[in-house]
Chain A
Amino acid sequence: MGIFRSMSISASGLTAQRLRMDVISQNIANEKTTRTANGTPYRRRVTVFQAQEQDFASVLSRESGMTGAGSAEDILSGGGVKVTAIQEDMSPLKRVYDPEHPDADADGYVNMPNVDITKEIIDMMSASRAYEANVTAFNTSKSMALKALEIGR
């Protein structure tokens, strides 16, 4: 019986939202970066979330009939969320006229990153709220587990 499974599911949500927050911070910090390691302007990055299936151990114990018949254990819940990739947003870069800029082309235009600060802030709020929701879920699981220890007291 996975006492800690629901907690690790919430933890996976916390990890994913925190990573998303990191990527958003990176985007905001590089809002005006015209030069990256490979010489091109910075491109906005996005996290790719994927729902995770249950781990091998619990599938095995179900399939091999280790759990009692009729118990809630032989049905599967999901296994939380994971971040499969951090991808670059390939939408066009902003072209800004600024002849004095060191990275300006022959016509005086500079390719600025495709970071939209408004979009990032809204994403940040969404990540923050989702993080809070996961914390609440975690705390609930924790209080339930603690309550179970009180049986028969």
Chain B
Amino acid sequence: MSDWMFKKIGLLERGLDAVWKRNEIIADNIANVDTPGFKASSLEFESLLAEELELNDSAVKIHKSRDKHMDNITLSNDSIKPVITKNENLTMRMDGNNVDIDREMASLAKNNLLYNALIQKISGELGRIRMAVQEGRK
């Protein structure tokens, strides 16, 4: 029972993990903004998750009468994890470093917002579970 109750939170948690990891990657890129030959890394998670959900979904997809209707969400297993890629191809400066500081600062802010959003979702979910548990007594 606890399995389905916390399933959604489990998925959000993995999102949190990935976003936290991305924060580390961005911090590392920023710390190495003056290191000769350093190549910036980036972390991919959301698109992989979306892909996985799409794949797993196909068998049990709800019929949609309109394109803009929302999909049902089946929660996937733990097979997907974030992937870190180093951008080796691009060189921006004479010293071989390719950290774009503006880009990094922007993704830092974006990442922070995403983290807060995920936390809020988890809190909301926990709130609903709590309500279900407590209100039943009344």
Q: Which residues of A contact B (CB under 8 A)?
A: 1-2, 5-7, 9-10, 12-13, 16-17, 20, 49-51, 69-81, 126-127, 130, 133-134, 136-138, 140-141, 143-144, 147-148, 150-153
Residues of B within 8 A of A17 (CB): 34
How distant is B106 from chain A, measured CB to nearest CB, in Å? 11
Q: Are the C-beta atoms of B27 and A9 separated by less than 8 Å?
A: yes
**Mask for B16-34, Cβ within 8 A of A = 1, else 0?**
1110110111111011111
Quote the shortest CB–CB distance from B130 to chain A (angstroms): 8
Q: Mark B93-135, 1 if CB is under 8 A from A, else 0.
A: 0000000010011001101100110010011001000000000
In Å, the complex CA distance between A12 and B33 comes to 12
A133 in contact with B101 (CB, 8 Å): yes
Q: Given known contacts A49-B36, A130-B34, A144-B20, is B28 in contact with A79 (CB within 8 Å)?
A: yes
- A130 closest partner in B (C-beta): B33
- Option from B14, B20, B41, B83 in Cβ contact (under 8 Å) with A78: B41
Q: Closest residue to A5 on the B side, CB-wise?
A: B24
Assembled-state Cα–Cα distance A17/B24 (Å): 18
Using known A-B contacts A51-B38, A70-B78, A136-B108, determine if residue A77 contacts B31 with beta carbons closer than 8 Å: no
Give the residue among B24, B25, B30 with the most A Cβ atoms within 10 A: B24
Interface contact B31-A144, CB-CB below 8 Å:
no
Given A9-B31, A77-B84, A137-B26, also A148-B108 (CB < 8 A): no
> In the complex, how many angstroms separate the beta carbon of A9 from the nearest chain B beta carbon?
4
| Residue B35 is within 8 A (CB to CB) of chain A in the complex | yes
